[in-house]
Chain A
Amino acid sequence: MPNKRHTVLVCQGTGCISGGGEQILSSLEEEVAQLNLGDSIQIKRTGCHGFCQRGSLVVIEPEGIFYTRVQPDDAPEIAQSLLPRGKPIERLFYHDPVTDKPIPYYDDIPFYNKQQRTVLRNCGNIDPEDIDDYLAVGGYQALHKALFEMTPEQIIDEVKRSGLRGLGGAGFPTGRKWEACHKAPGDEKYVICNGDEGDPGAFQDRSTMEGDPHSILEGMLIAAYAVGAQRGFIYVRAEYPLAVKRLRIAIKQAREKGFLGKDILGSGFDFDVEVFQGAGAFVCGESTALVLSIEGKRGMPKPLPRPRTAEKGLWDKPTLLNNVKTFANIPVIISRGSGWFASRGTEKSKGTAIFSLTGKVANNGLIEVPMGITLREIIFDIGGGIPNGKAFKAVQTGGPSGGCLPASMLDMSVDFDSLTAAGSMMGSGGMVVMDEGTCMVDVARYFLDFTRREACGQCIPCRLGTEQMFEILDDITKGRGRPEDIDLLLELAEAIKHASLCALGQTAPNPVLTTIRYFRDEYEAHIYEKKCPAGVCQALITR
């Protein structure tokens, strides 16, 4: 592509599309054509920039001018501003939520300048529907290196040395999983990418699939070569139609260019991928359930002792199952080396973590930060603090499997092990901020309502236990709490934790355990005084 004077990046993520992103893109194209600027200005569709709350987003490169809350009607003015001697449009700049100062450039916005984008390296910068754009930023070079300069064993060693841990929630060392699958006997093996992001409050897998699908394909290809697989699936959540569309386009283009199919790049290695749309079941995040779902069955985790998916997975063949973000990290590790990757993060959690920062925080959006950053830096520096002059109360991580952490833990390091030690977990990366107007008993009730609906039903501790916990919590929020309820909840939690068949049940009590541990006084106010201090539980307000 000849050098253009400006590139206009127009976000086409699900969030920005809901704000009129598609019309903005087409209007800008028309306006630029009318002004005869087609030779000097390129209009480009991109994936998610992460700052969805300020959408629709438009970025002008090379200057890095960042326009927020753009409406389709703004297209003519934006096009005019691109004329020689045109001026940037101040009213569309990002305004600091505290000082209201306009900040014209992307790089100067606190939401972005503390981030380290590795998994999201291309999201918002390249056209996810054009493989040439991915190739232009070095795409598929890692695959080339892996196929022609490395043996499968060397690749696995490199991934092991990087310290990468599975970013789907559990944090299992990725290299060890690959090694197990590589060593498992059998000629027929599978690679599955888990894009069944079921955690309510997390959307980083969606954004990655929508914004940079080729990085996932490239990671899967390298994995397939390393473990010896011929066929792959990307399991995408039913609620993500745009991700399905973009992945299918990416697969088609990768086949046309010879990156997928037979004898890839002349290496003799064969691999192909298809998209499998899930049909809505949170429990399918569990590996044996996900595999059963692809086989066309009810997605219920296999009974214990469960075979390891790496040895006996899809159709009983060795199967490598990793999360979207885990695969998206692979090309970077192969290209830049494990040393570079491992230089960031903490001793036991390397690289970056991605969070969907949402809730009662000024800046909502998708962020990628080095492991080891503190909760305070995320919420107050990147997130801009709590809006409307309210006070911070808690931050919830790990979705229905995680917990709520109080203000006293704000200076805690954010990594797999610290979060687990605090009673929460990294999970799939939801991070929901709560202020003094959020009732912690209501939050616990909310999560148990979720898990009791999503329990697959085969094991009793989870099916009946979550229902019992929900009913007790429901009673407490409705003013029917009894003094013995807190102890009863703790007792139930222990039983469910230890006796459930899979992680859904084993972690379901976490939201209740952490809220009792850190916010016991709120439970007591509901039970003894029949009061909801946050003013959320309606049955207790009208009294």
Chain B
Amino acid sequence: MEELEEELLREILSFYQGNRGEIIPILLEIQGNFGYLPEEAIQMIASFLNITEGQIYSVASFYSQFRLIPLGRNRVTVCRGTACHIRGAPRILEEMEKVLGLKEGETSADLEYTLETVACFGCCALAPCIRINNGVHGEMTPEKVRKLFSASNEGEQDA
């Protein structure tokens, strides 16, 4: 781990008191900064909270938010909520897999994209919807998927 990253980790931890109850907020914040939970971070959190690394992995592996491997710079998330499902989400995911050349859960080798699904992000009235990084795109069709990703490779980054 780079010295800078270690410093950032230490800075993040300095805002916490070291209670076991802080584990989820700490993991979320570290993932927010690093995009995933690096092994070194888990070691540092364990000694900070005075618990075993195993206890941290038990939490990190339980919740769907946490990632133990690096994610792509652009995260594409297809909603598989109920409204999205019956309005064609499976076709959207299929098209997305084709366009990105990735299966659900995979990250491209150049770390450009990660393709994920989510149980629901609560934009059901705009079903079917996807999220590219933090931007929600509603009423998707396979054509709209192709358009979004073919226009330019920059197109999706402002989302």
Point out the residues of chain B lying under 8 angstroms from A201, CB to CB: 81-83, 120, 124
Cβ-defined contact, A18 with B59, below 8 A: no
Point out the residues of chain B lying under 8 angstroms from A277, CB to CB: 24-25, 28
Q: Is B152 an interface residue (CB 8 A)?
A: no
Cβ-defined contact, B119 with A15, below 8 A: no
Rounded to whole Å, the gap between the CB of B59 and the closest CB of chain A is: 6
Cβ-defined contact, A241 with B24, below 8 A: no
Cβ-defined contact, A296 with B24, below 8 A: yes
Chain B's closest residue to A280 (CB) is B64
Point out the residues of chain B lying under 8 angstroms from A438, CB to CB: 86
Q: Which of A14, A276, A299 contacts B62 (CB 8 A)?
A: A299
Cα distance A199–B81 in the bound complex, in angstroms: 8
Cβ-defined contact, B122 with A358, below 8 A: no
Point out the residues of chain A lying under 8 angstroms from B64, CB to CB: 279-281
Cβ-defined contact, B123 with A241, below 8 A: no
Q: Is A322 an interface residue (CB 8 A)?
A: no
Q: Is A122 an interface residue (CB 8 A)?
A: no
Point out the residues of chain B lying under 8 angstroms from A295, CB to CB: 20-21
Q: Which of A276, A279, A430 contacts B63 (CB 8 A)?
A: A279
Chain A's closest residue to B19 (CB) is A296
Instruction: Report if A279-B66 is in contact (Cβ < 8 Å); known contacts: A294-B21, A298-B59.
Output: yes
Q: Is A168 an interface residue (CB 8 A)?
A: no
Cβ-defined contact, A280 with B123, below 8 A: no
Chain B's closest residue to A538 (CB) is B90
Contact string, A375-409, partner B, CB cutoff 8 A, digits 1/0? 00000000000000000000010010000000000
Cβ-defined contact, A18 with B126, below 8 A: yes
Q: Which of B58, B85, B125 contacts A53 (CB 8 A)?
A: B125
Cβ-defined contact, B24 with A359, below 8 A: no
Cβ-defined contact, B20 with A360, below 8 A: no
Cβ-defined contact, B125 with A15, below 8 A: yes
Cβ-defined contact, B122 with A364, below 8 A: no
Contact string, B83-125, partner A, CB cutoff 8 A, digits 1/0? 1011100000000000000000000000000000011111111
Cβ-defined contact, B137 with A241, below 8 A: no
Cβ-defined contact, A364 with B125, below 8 A: yes
Cβ-defined contact, A279 with B82, below 8 A: no
Point out the residues of chain A lying under 8 angstroms from B126, CB to CB: 15, 18, 52-53, 55, 364
Cβ-defined contact, A15 with B138, below 8 A: yes
Point out the residues of chain A lying under 8 angstroms from B136, CB to CB: 14-15, 17-18
Point out the residues of chain A lying under 8 angstroms from B85, CB to CB: 200, 443, 446
CB-contacts of B44-69 with A (<8 A): 58-59, 62-66
Cβ-defined contact, A14 with B86, below 8 A: no
Point out the residues of chain B lying under 8 angstroms from A359, CB to CB: 82-83, 86-87, 127
Contact string, B116-150, partner A, CB cutoff 8 A, digits 1/0? 00111111111101000011111000000000000
Q: Which of B23, B81, B138 contacts A19 (CB 8 A)?
A: B138
Cα distance A202–B124 in the bound complex, in angstroms: 7
Q: Is B22 an interface residue (CB 8 A)?
A: yes
Cβ-defined contact, B80 with A52, below 8 A: no
Chain A's closest residue to B24 (CB) is A279
CB-contacts of A204-240 with B (<8 A): 206-207, 237-240
Cα distance A277–B135 in the bound complex, in angstroms: 20
Cβ-defined contact, B83 with A199, below 8 A: no
Q: Is B27 an interface residue (CB 8 A)?
A: yes
Cα distance A370–B86 in the bound complex, in angstroms: 27
Cβ-defined contact, B120 with A358, below 8 A: no
Cβ-defined contact, A238 with B59, below 8 A: no
Point out the residues of chain B lying under 8 angstroms from A447, CB to CB: 82
Cα distance A365–B127 in the bound complex, in angstroms: 11
Point out the residues of chain A lying under 8 angstroms from B86, CB to CB: 359-360, 432, 434, 438, 443
Cα distance A430–B64 in the bound complex, in angstroms: 22
Point out the residues of chain A lying under 8 angstroms from B59, CB to CB: 296-298
Cβ-defined contact, A296 with B22, below 8 A: yes
Point out the residues of chain B lying under 8 angstroms from A446, CB to CB: 82, 85
Chain A's closest residue to B58 (CB) is A298
Chain A's closest residue to B135 (CB) is A18
Cα distance A293–B27 in the bound complex, in angstroms: 13
Q: Is A450 an interface residue (CB 8 A)?
A: yes
Rounded to whole Å, the gap between the CB of A440 and the closest CB of chain B is: 11
Cα distance A276–B24 in the bound complex, in angstroms: 9
Chain A's closest residue to B80 (CB) is A200
Point out the residues of chain A lying under 8 angstroms from B80, CB to CB: 200
Cα distance A450–B125 in the bound complex, in angstroms: 20
Cβ-defined contact, A279 with B120, below 8 A: no
Cβ-defined contact, B21 with A197, below 8 A: no
Instruction: Report if A399-B121 is in contact (Cβ < 8 Å); known contacts: A53-B126, A280-B65.
Output: no
Cβ-defined contact, B82 with A396, below 8 A: yes
Rounded to whole Å, the gap between the CB of B18 and the closest CB of chain A is: 11
Point out the residues of chain B lying under 8 angstroms from A523, CB to CB: none
Chain B's closest residue to A275 (CB) is B25
Q: Which of B28, B82, B87 contacts A200 (CB 8 A)?
A: B82
Rounded to whole Å, the gap between the CB of B158 and the closest CB of chain A is: 12
Q: Which of A18, A282, A365 contacts B137 (CB 8 A)?
A: A18
Point out the residues of chain A lying under 8 angstroms from B124, CB to CB: 201-203, 356, 358, 364, 430, 432
Point out the residues of chain A lying under 8 angstroms from B127, CB to CB: 358-359, 364
CB-contacts of A1-58 with B (<8 A): 14-15, 17-19, 51-53, 55
Cβ-defined contact, B121 with A18, below 8 A: no
Cβ-defined contact, B62 with A298, below 8 A: yes
Chain B's closest residue to A430 (CB) is B82
Cβ-defined contact, A240 with B122, below 8 A: yes
Residues of B near any A CB (own CB < 8 A): 19-25, 27-28, 58-59, 62-66, 80-83, 85-87, 118-127, 129, 134-138
- Ordered by A's residue number, 20 sampled pairs between the chains whose C-beta atoms are within 8 Å are A18-B126, A19-B138, A52-B126, A53-B125, A200-B81, A201-B124, A202-B122, A203-B123, A237-B122, A240-B122, A281-B64, A293-B24, A298-B58, A299-B62, A359-B82, A359-B87, A360-B87, A364-B83, A446-B82, A454-B119
